[in-house]
Chain A
Amino acid sequence: MSTVTFLIVSAVKVTVIVTVVLMGVAWATWLERKLLGRFQHRIGPNMAGPYGLLQPIADAIKLIFKEDIVPDKAEKITYALAPIISFIPALLSFAVVPVSDTLTIFGQKIDMVISDLNIGILFVFAVTSLGVYGMVLAGWSSGSKYSLLGGIRSSAQMISYEVSYGLSIIGVILLANTLSMVELVEQQDSFFNWFIFRQPLGFVLFVICAVAETNRSPFDLPEAESELVAGYLTEYSSMRYSLFFMAEYANMIAVSSVATTIFLGGWQGPILPPFLWFVIKVFFFMCFYIWIRATLPRLRYDMLMNFGWKVLFPLALANVMVTAFLQRL
């Protein structure tokens, strides 16, 4: 493939992925409100368009027209940068997620992944943990005690759960003997080769840590409404506020896609086209996220720390050790 075609193909891939993810983010909010509503015997948004499907557009328009307030005590530059810092990493991790099988268009073989890094998993984990800087900076630069508390909480939570998060997929890497996402998917070619069956404990740990990493209920301490107003985004308004929310939902989709790729066989599946399988799996993972939110109450801060260090961390270590031992046999 010549350099020019490579550039064009990459540009198209990036555009398509970013657009799809942003649309996904918009309608993930709709899905969440609708599902949460049904979990609570409500209907959810139903006024804007059929089944309230135009609700995200209405929300976006509303948020854009809101006044953008910067508090006097805020550190102006960091305050403006923080939402972007938390949003960009959420998008970046899609760079290594293979969404479909290799396609052949005009005689060119095109990988349905923006970049097949040989350290794909490492890249995902490096990039997703960058997102916490956005939250910490937002909390610190707002010049408000609630924001600061939220920021501190998010950093503490991230550090605690990052360890188990990383360890939970070491088992998979040991089994697969690769760090490339594309190769990982190729190894899960039949249903029982999915890593969820070969690494069940690893999957459970991954899901728990992923929920904590994306600051979702029951680990949503950085934005605990009942204690911290809105945590790190208390002082934000308008589009900056919505950037944080887009970051949260983009992170959810990113984590869902990574979980799909690592544990649920990525785009592998019978009959239906590979891309559709990928979307279905991500969709179910998102629904599971919302189900968790509808079920579990928020943890207390000390419980969160206890759980992270005294339960998840030993379990993750044990999982790695047992896997390594069995792999050596």
Chain B
Amino acid sequence: MFDFVKTVLIALPKGFYTTFKHLFKKPVTLQYPKEKMPMAPRYRGLHYLEKYEDGSERCVCCGLCASACPADAIYMEPAENEKGERYSEVYEINLLRCIYCGFCEEACPEEAIFLGHEYEFSNDSRDAFIYTKGQMLANRPTKEKPFKKIIRKVRRIF
């Protein structure tokens, strides 16, 4: 009986007071398509291929990224250009296989491939997820990524 009275007189008002306090707090809702979460600088999203300042591709098709890839998502075919430089004629990433671990950007000796901040790339056919070289080059962000230094450091450690 005493417990019951205690519940009614203390616990109930306490509970009501708690919810009442929360009524006036700011909602934590993020209006997603309109507002987005600030992104961590090292976020690993959709890949892109980097170029040199003169516009030529950095990728030499060495295959280190493909061999580092734990999901076996990268496929590439090498070729030679008129100057005798190796480049990748075909460079495809299967985005459905890719686990976005970032091993490819760590493995790359030419600093050609990076994982960017793009994450809204849903699609309705499986074929659309074969991510080709042209798309990857076009996806290059205009701003220089601040985390390239970090990647260099990581590469020195291992």
Residues of B in contact (CB 8 Å), total 13
> In the assembled complex, which residues on chain B have CB atoms less than 8 Å from the CB atom of A294?
19
Which residues of A, 266-294, contact B by the 8 Å Cβ criterion? 291, 294
Q: Mark A284-308, 1 if CB is under 8 A from B, else 0.
A: 0000000100111000000000000
Instruction: Check if B23 sits within 8 Å of A38, measured CB to CB.
Output: yes
Instruction: Check if A41 sits within 8 Å of B27, measured CB to CB.
Output: yes
Inter-chain CA distance A43–B35, complex, in Å, is 14
Count A/B pairs, Cβ under 8 Å: 29
Instruction: Check if B25 sits within 8 Å of A41, measured CB to CB.
Output: yes
Instruction: Check if A37 sits within 8 Å of B15, measured CB to CB.
Output: no
Quick check: is A311 within 8 A (CB to CB) of the other chain? yes
In the complex, which of the residues A42, A295, A296 contacts B29, with contact meaning CB atoms closer than 8 Å?
A42
Inter-chain CA distance A295–B29, complex, in Å, is 20
Quick check: is B28 within 8 A (CB to CB) of the other chain? yes
Q: Mark B1-41, 1 if CB is under 8 A from A, else 0.
A: 00010000000000110111011011111000000000000
Inter-chain CA distance A314–B25, complex, in Å, is 40
| Residue in B closest to A47 when the chains form the complex, CB atoms | B31
Instruction: Check if A37 sits within 8 Å of B19, measured CB to CB.
Output: no
Cβ distance B43 to chain A, nearest Cβ, rounded Å? 25
Instruction: Check if B4 sits within 8 Å of A38, measured CB to CB.
Output: no
> In the assembled complex, which residues on chain B have CB atoms less than 8 Å from the CB atom of A6?
none
Contacts A291-B16, A296-B15, A311-B4: A37 and B27 contacting too (C-beta < 8 A)? yes
Contacts A291-B20, A311-B4: A41 and B15 contacting too (C-beta < 8 A)? no
Instruction: Check if B25 sits within 8 Å of A291, measured CB to CB.
Output: no
> In the assembled complex, which residues on chain B have CB atoms less than 8 Å from the CB atom of A39?
19, 22-23
> In the assembled complex, which residues on chain B have CB atoms less than 8 Å from the CB atom of A295?
15-16, 18-19
In the complex, which of the residues B4, B16, B20, B22 contacts A41, with contact meaning CB atoms closer than 8 Å?
B22
| Residue in B closest to A297 when the chains form the complex, CB atoms | B15
Inter-chain CA distance A99–B28, complex, in Å, is 39
Given contacts A39-B19, A41-B28, 12 further A-B pairs with CB under 8 A are A35-B23, A37-B27, A40-B22, A41-B22, A41-B25, A41-B26, A43-B27, A43-B29, A291-B16, A291-B19, A294-B19, A295-B15
* Chain A residues near B (Cβ < 8 Å): 35, 37-43, 291, 294-296, 311
Please give me the 9 A-B residue pairs with the lowest Cβ-Cβ distance, nearest first.
Answer: A295-B19, A43-B29, A43-B27, A41-B28, A294-B19, A295-B15, A41-B27, A42-B29, A295-B16
